Chains A and B, each alone.
Chain A
Amino acid sequence: MTTVVSGSEVLVNTDWVAQHRTDPNVRVVEVDVDTAAYLQGHVPGAIGWNWTTELCDTLVRDIVPKAKLEQLLGSSGITPQSTIVLYGDNNNWFAAWAFWQLKIYGHGAVRIMDGGRKKWLAEGRDLETQPSRPTATTYTAQDPDLSIRAFLSEVQRALARPETVLVDVRSPQEFTGEILAPPGLPETCQRGGHIPGAKSIPWAKACNDDGTFKSASDLASLYGAQGVTPDRDVIAYCRIGERSSHTWFVLKYLLGFPHVKNYDGSWTEWGNLVGAPVER
């Protein structure tokens, strides 16, 4: 039996953002795949975060270090009591990536704007091109909660654990090994295919054409049909971990699965690992 959590706890629509974007306790943040998109025009008052430099460790391959996140949030005028509303292009890929990291570091009120940047543009809403300059704060993050993050060793152990289901959220062509990266993007792995036993449920199946999330009942049917149910431990992966953070968000927050992890090492780790088993 699927426990459906109300999406209203984590999703806000474009109307809500238009009405609340100037609330002092609300901070709207845009995180795009295309890091130049923010300056073309963004929700007035929104901060822009760059996933390639600000939401990761730029030396070691890792998520953003705690001190760096504290600096980013502080310079964005965010306090632990702030409600952070994330949105971005590609149906909120990197908004979900930011959401996942904010939850790792214990930020309470985080929301995603349903439909993301595309919906805001399609609706012809107000835009601003100048970067926002909020008054800085001092932010103290919590120690990382790694219960929502899967590392390589756990994924390796999962191959022998029937209680765990791996969800590959890449495109079918990446899953079969026909291509090594999404069309038009650089190849970043040595082998194509998928982790043995993984279920193929592309991330985009969770979205409607306008970029909004499907209903909880549709989502439960989508994942349930592949044996991805709340009684199992679920590990989602993709190529670099951002698409799978989108699926992680869906499973954890829209469907209320209790045990879901994002394997951010994803295919760029597994598909480059000497001796790792690959299925095609």
Chain B
Amino acid sequence: MKSEEFSERREELNGWPINIVSYRVGDRYYCTIDNVDPGARFARAEGTTREEAESTALEKAARYLEQTRRFPTA
């Protein structure tokens, strides 16, 4: 068994840059999303297609990012 169809791209979600990684292992697709800076993976999902895995992970990511507060700085 190997990872196949590895893909990585950057997008913006709710005003935050995100890094989307997806790949297939066997008959399952996996998607992980990190927050670019610092690069912490905070959402992941799997599915039978890349689209399914990515859309589920993106929904989770959007939900988590909504909870991130910005504070004023000098």
A pairs with B: yes
CB distance B1 to A182 under 8 Å? no
Among A93, A121, A184, A187, point to the contact of B35 (Cβ < 8 A).
A184
Mark A residues whose CB is within 8 Å of B: 33-34, 36-37, 40-41, 89-91, 93, 118, 120-122, 124-129, 170-174, 176-187, 192, 202-204, 243, 280
CB distance B37 to A172 under 8 Å? yes
Q: In the assembly, what is the distance between CA of A90 and CA of B38, in Å?
A: 9
B5 smallest CB distance to A (angstroms): 9
CB distance A124 to B71 under 8 Å? no
A111 smallest CB distance to B (angstroms): 22
Among A118, A180, A203, A243, point to the contact of B69 (Cβ < 8 A).
A180
- Known: A124-B4, A125-B2, A184-B61. Contact between A176 and B40, CB under 8 A? no
B35 and chain A: residue at smallest CB distance: A183
CB distance A171 to B38 under 8 Å? yes
CB distance A34 to B74 under 8 Å? no
List 21 contacting pairs A-B, 8 Å CB cutoff, sorted by A. A40-B30, A41-B1, A90-B39, A118-B21, A121-B6, A121-B23, A122-B3, A122-B8, A129-B25, A176-B73, A177-B71, A182-B37, A182-B38, A182-B42, A183-B16, A184-B42, A184-B61, A184-B67, A185-B68, A187-B69, A280-B74
Binary flags per residue of B1-37, CB closer than 8 Å to A gives 1, else 0: 1111010100000001000010101001010101101
CB distance A179 to B40 under 8 Å? no
CB distance B35 to A182 under 8 Å? yes
Q: In the assembly, what is the distance between CA of A86 and CA of B58, in Å?
A: 29
CB distance B73 to A177 under 8 Å? yes
CB distance B71 to A179 under 8 Å? yes
CB distance A202 to B37 under 8 Å? yes
Quick one: which of B64, B70, B73 has the most chain A CB within 10 A?
B73
Looking at chain A's contact residues, the main secondary structure is loop
- Which residues of B have CB within 8 Å of A280? 73-74
- Known: A40-B30, A41-B1, A121-B23. Contact between A182 and B40, CB under 8 A? yes
- Which residues of B have CB within 8 Å of A178? 70-73
Quick one: which of A118, A120, A178, A280 has the most chain B CB within 10 A?
A118
CB distance B68 to A183 under 8 Å? yes
CB distance A171 to B21 under 8 Å? no
Quick check: is B41 within 8 A (CB to CB) of the other chain? yes
Q: In the assembly, what is the distance between CA of A129 and CA of B27, in Å?
A: 13
Among A89, A124, A192, point to the contact of B3 (Cβ < 8 A).
A124
- Which residues of B have CB within 8 Å of A126? 1-2
Q: In the assembly, what is the distance between CA of A178 and CA of B74, in Å?
A: 10
- Which residues of B have CB within 8 Å of A176? 73
Q: In the assembly, what is the distance between CA of A121 and CA of B54, in Å?
A: 17
- Which residues of B have CB within 8 Å of A40? 25, 28, 30, 46
Q: In the assembly, what is the distance between CA of A94 and CA of B53, in Å?
A: 25
- Known: A179-B69, A182-B38, A184-B64. Contact between A124 and B44, CB under 8 A? no
CB distance B68 to A179 under 8 Å? yes
- Which residues of B have CB within 8 Å of A129? 1, 25
Known: A124-B2, A182-B38. 11 other contacts (CB 8 A): A37-B32, A91-B39, A121-B6, A125-B2, A128-B1, A129-B1, A178-B71, A179-B68, A179-B69, A184-B16, A185-B68
